[in-house]
Amino acid sequence: MAGTEPDPGADPELMAAYRLGLRRDLERVAANNAKVTVQFLKGGHGLLFEHPDDLAIRVAAFLSR
């Protein structure tokens, strides 16, 4: 799971470049390893606090595969 929103207080331009590179790298890892699943969720650094139910559902679905 990776958030798509910038972290509070961070430089917006720097964070946009970071998120773009992170997405590129995570998608590459997932494309080259069938055991890796990457999902992006609207949110920032505190995904666990922002979307606890959604994250729990996604993790449970991953683990039940």
Q: So where are the chain's domains? A: 2-63
Q: 60 is written with which tokens?
A: 């449970």
pLDDT in tens, 1-28: 988 887 777 788 998 898 899 999 999 9
pLDDT-derived band at 56 (thresholds 50, 70, 90) equals: very high
Beta bridge partners of 41: 3
The pLDDT of residue 29 is 97
User: Running DSSP on this structure, what letter comes out for residue 10?
Assistant: S
Are the CB atoms for 37 and 30 separated by under 8 Å? yes
Q: How many CB atoms lie within 10 A of CB 48?
A: 11
- Residues 24 and 52: their CA atoms lie apart, in Å, by 25
40: three-class secondary structure by DSSP: strand
The pLDDT of residue 38 is 94
pLDDT in tens, 23-52: 999 999 999 999 999 999 998 888 899 999
The pLDDT of residue 26 is 96
